[in-house]
Homo-oligomer: A and B are copies of this chain.
């Protein structure tokens, strides 16, 4: 559904939302390590997200990435839109050129409600609301520890 790039982006931003702020920046190395994503690829991605004002960065020693107050007010949808483009959730599941209630493809009424629901969920909550929820309901951004645990 989403590209790898987009998945990395969402998890990185949620990670930054949870663990960084203006006074506590985090470097690519750390982020890539925690989220188990390819480091140089993530670096490029964060570069792009910074340019798009979805994350904030500073250079130099003690520099790194963090979410500003403004960044926290964006939505997951803003990320998807930026990385995978604005049509990610209004395309036909079977590849027709349009997805509409008139001329529905055979799976339209199965797929469309979910696309709409996911879209709504992604659009109507801010990153910071999302991350509060992550804390409250104990969600995970990486299975690093879990995987490590399993190996024992």
Contact = CB atoms under 8 A, between A and B. Distances in A.
Chain A interface size, as a band, is 35 or more
Contacts of A95: 2, 4, 7-8, 11
Interface string A111-150: 1001001100100000000100110000111110011000
Interface in A98-121: 98, 103-108, 110-111, 114, 117-118, 121
Copies per complex?
2
A10 interface: yes
Given A93-B1, A140-B96, A114 B118 contact: yes
Interface of A: 1-2, 4, 7-8, 10-11, 14, 76, 93-98, 103-108, 110-111, 114, 117-118, 121, 130, 133-134, 139-143, 146-147
Given A7-B93, A94-B141, A106-B141, 6 more contacts: A11-B95, A96-B143, A103-B140, A107-B118, A110-B121, A114-B118
What 8 pairs across the A-B complex have the smallest Cβ distances?
A: A7-B95, A114-B114, A106-B139, A1-B1, A103-B140, A7-B94, A110-B121, A106-B134
